[in-house]
Structure 1
Amino acid sequence: MSDAGTYVYAVARSAVECPDGVAPVRTIAGAGLVAYVSTVPLAEFGEEPLRRSLEDLDWLAVTARAHHRVVDVVATATPTAPVRLVTVYADDDQVRDLLERRRDDFLEVLSHVMGRREWGVKAYVGPGAASPATRDGDEGAGDDVGKPGTAYLQRRRASLRGREQARRQIMGRADHIHATLSSLAAASCRHRAQDPQLSGRDEVMLLNGAYLVDEGRDEEFAATAGSLGGDGVEVHLTGPWAPYSFTVLETS
C-alpha cells in the first residue's frame, strides 16, 4: 500500500501555473478537464490522522490558507470548480476516474461560473437597534394606579411586544438587502449567520450572503451593497472570490 495520497484543490478546463498549496501543485488531465492536485503523506492526510488534525484549529487554518491560495490563483485565470477542503484520494487514477464520472457535472458548473465572480455581503446591527422595545415598555408606566403587580405585567407585555416588533423589522431589513442584491446576481445564497466569536465582531450578524455576479456588474453590485446600510445597520462587502458557494460538488 502506498504511503502517499492525492490531495485535490479544484477542477478546471485548462492548466495554469499556480503556487504551492499544502505541497507542490501539479495537474492531472482527463475527460477534457484538469484537476489541480498535490501528493501528500498519508501519515498526515490519511483518514485517521485527518480526524485528529481537523480538531487542531491552527493546523486547519494553515491548511485552509494553502488550499484557498491555489484555488484563488486558478480561479483568477480560468473558470474553476473548487473541491472541498482536505479532499484526498488514494492515487492519481482515482482522480482520473472522478473526472470521467463527473465530467458533465463539472462542465455544467464551469459554464455557470464563466465570466462571474463571487461576492460576500455581511450585514450587522448593533445592540442599540433594539432600543425601540425599551421605549415601548415605558408606555405602560402610566397604568400604574395603585396596582404595582398589574402595572409590571403590563410593562412587561409591552416590552415583549416592542422587542418582537423590533426583531421583525430587523429581519425584514435583512430580507430586503438580500432580495435587492440577489436581483443583481446570477445566483445567490444565504449562509448561516456567524457567531460573534467567529466573526470577531460584537454586533449581531443579520445577513451572511454570497452572490455570483457577472464581471461587468461588479461596480453596480458594490455600489448597491454600499447604499443598503444605515439606520444602525452596517453592510460589509468582501471579494471578489473564487465561486466557492456555487461550485463545490460532492466528489465521493
Structure 2
Amino acid sequence: MSQEPTLTYVYAVAVPTPELGRILASLRGVADAALSLLPPLDEAGPAAPSFVTSQVPHGDWREEALRAHFEDLDWLESTARAHHHVIQALGDRATVLPLRMATLYQDEERALAALREQRPAFADRLALLAHHAEYGVKVYVRPEAAGDAGADAPDSAPPAATPAPAPSSPGKAYLQARKRQHHAREDRYQQAARAAERIAAAAAPHATHAVRHPTQSGPLTRGAAGEDGENVLNDAYLVPDEQAEAFRSAVEQAGEGLPGVRVDVTGPWAPYSFAMPAPPATGTDTDTDTSTDTPGGPT
C-alpha cells in the first residue's frame, strides 16, 4: 500500500542546538505531526539557520483544500493555535524567526533550496533577535459610563433645594444629553492620545525596535483582563531580555492617571512582528498567506 504524499510545512527558522532538538522531540505540530529540523547538518556547518518542519498530508493541505479550510473558523483557529504553540515553545528556549502559518513546500528538496537561498538574511535576522522578545502594548478607550450616555443623566446633581429647571422640550433634553456624551467621548480620546505619546517616550529607552499595527475591532477589543473598550493603539516592541521588567514598568506607569483609558502590556512573545516575510514556496501549489493577529500574540 503506497504512502499518502505529503507537503513540507515550515514553522520557523532556528539554529540547531541539542536543547532545540530535545524541545522538538516533545512537541507536535499542526495535524498532530512530528517535528524535525531541516537540515540539522549540512555543508554550511552545524550553526547554520535551519527550518523547523513537519510533514502534512498533501490532500488536506493542497491549495484547493486550504481554500475550503480557511472558511472553517474552527479549523483555522485550531491550526493557528498549533502553529503558534510550536513557535512559542521554541522561542521560550531559543532564538527563532517565526514564519507565517501555512508556509508549505512541495517537498524537502524545494524547502532546502529556499533555505539556502535566504540563509544570509536569516542569519542576520536571528542575530538581531537573539536575547530579545516581543511585547505588545495596546491602548483602549473604555466604554462610556452609564452617566455619560443616559438622556436623563445630568453632568452633576444640583442641590436638593434648587431643582434643575425642566428642559423646554424632550428634544432639547436629548440634544443636551448627546452633547455631554460627545464631550465625554472626546475627552477620552484626548486622554488616549496623551497615553500613546507617554508610552512611546517611556518605551523608547528600553526597546530596540517598534512596529505600529492596525487597531483591532470587534471581539478582539477585549483586553487582557477581559474588559471591553475601543482599541486606539496597537504597538509591538522588540525588547532585550535584560530590559523586560523596566520596559513593562515604564509603560504601565505611563498609562496611569488617565481616567477612561486602559493600557494593556502583553508578552513576552516570539518576535512575530519583527520576522522577515516567509520565503516564496518555490515549486509548490500551496503558498497562501494566512497571517493573522495570532492568539495571544504579539499584536
What TM-score do you get using the length of structure 1 for normalisation? Answer: 0.82
Whether 1:196 aligns to 2:218 is yes
Give the residue type in structure 1 aligned to 2:64.
E
Q: Deviations over 1:196-247 (max 9, x none)?
A: 3233463111222211111001111121122123422222221111111101
Residue number among 39, 60, 71 corresponding to 2:55 in the alignment: 39
Task: Please state how far the C-alpha of 1:166 moved relative to its aligned partner.
Answer: 5.1
Match of 2:256 in 1: 229
Of structures 1 and 2, the one scoring higher in RCO (CA 8 A, sep 6+) is: 2
Match of 2:122 in 1: 106
Residue number among 10, 24, 28 corresponding to 2:38 in the alignment: 28
Give the residue type in structure 1 aligned to 2:219.
Q
Task: Please state how far the C-alpha of 1:155 moved relative to its aligned partner.
Answer: 10
Match of 1:238 in 2: 266
The CA distance in 1 between the partners of 2:106 and 2:131, in whole Å, is: 33
SS of 2:7's equivalent?
A: strand
Match of 1:141 in 2: none
The CA distance in 2 between the partners of 1:105 and 1:38, in whole Å, is: 23
Task: Please state how far the C-alpha of 1:171 moved relative to its aligned partner.
Answer: 2.5
Give the residue type in structure 2 aligned to 1:21.
G
Give the residue type in structure 2 aligned to 1:47.
E
The CA distance in 2 between the partners of 1:235 and 1:207, in whole Å, is: 9
| Contact 1:132-1:166 within 8 A present in 2 as well | no
Task: Please state how far the C-alpha of 1:156 moved relative to its aligned partner.
Answer: 8.2
Match of 1:63 in 2: 79
Whether 1:6 aligns to 2:8 is yes
Counterparts of 1:1-252 in structure 2, within 5 Å, are 3-15=5-17, 16-17=20-21, 18=24, 19-22=27-30, 23-29=33-39, 31=44, 32-128=48-144, 164=186, 167-200=189-222, 202-227=228-253, 228-230=255-257, 231-252=259-280
Q: Alignment length, in residue pairs?
A: 246
Task: Please state how far the C-alpha of 1:175 moved relative to its aligned partner.
Answer: 3.4
| Contact 2:191-2:261 within 8 A present in 1 as well | no
Give the residue type in structure 2 aligned to 1:89.
Y
SS of 1:167's equivalent?
A: helix
For the aligned residue pairs, the C-alpha RMSD in angstroms reads 3.2
| Contact 2:149-2:177 within 8 A present in 1 as well | no
Q: Deviations over 1:84-110 (max 9, x none)?
A: 001110000111111111111101110
Give the residue type in structure 2 aligned to 1:20.
R
Task: Please state how far the C-alpha of 1:170 moved relative to its aligned partner.
Answer: 2.6
Q: Deviations over 1:109-157 (max 9, x none)?
A: 101101111111222221338x8999xxx8xxxxxxx9xx9xx999989
SS of 1:128's equivalent?
A: coil
Give the residue type in structure 1 aligned to 2:125.
V
Cα 1:101–1:174, aligned 2, differ >3 Å: closer, same or farther? same
Give the residue type in structure 2 aligned to 1:13.
V
Cα 1:57–1:133, aligned 2, differ >3 Å: closer, same or farther? closer
The CA distance in 1 between the partners of 2:148 and 2:200, in whole Å, is: 24
| Contact 1:117-1:243 within 8 A present in 2 as well | yes
Cα 1:250–1:179, aligned 2, differ >3 Å: closer, same or farther? farther
Cα 1:225–1:158, aligned 2, differ >3 Å: closer, same or farther? closer
What percentage of aligned pairs have identical amino acids?
Answer: 37
Point out 4+ residue stretches in structure 1 off by more than 6 angstroms: 131-134, 152-162
Q: Deviations over 1:27-74 (max 9, x none)?
A: 112542211101111111111111111121111111111111111122
What TM-score do you get using the length of structure 2 for normalisation? Answer: 0.70
Task: Please state how far the C-alpha of 1:167 moved relative to its aligned partner.
Answer: 3.2
Task: Please state how far the C-alpha of 1:160 moved relative to its aligned partner.
Answer: 6.2
- Please identify which structure carries the higher strand content: 1
Match of 1:143 in 2: none
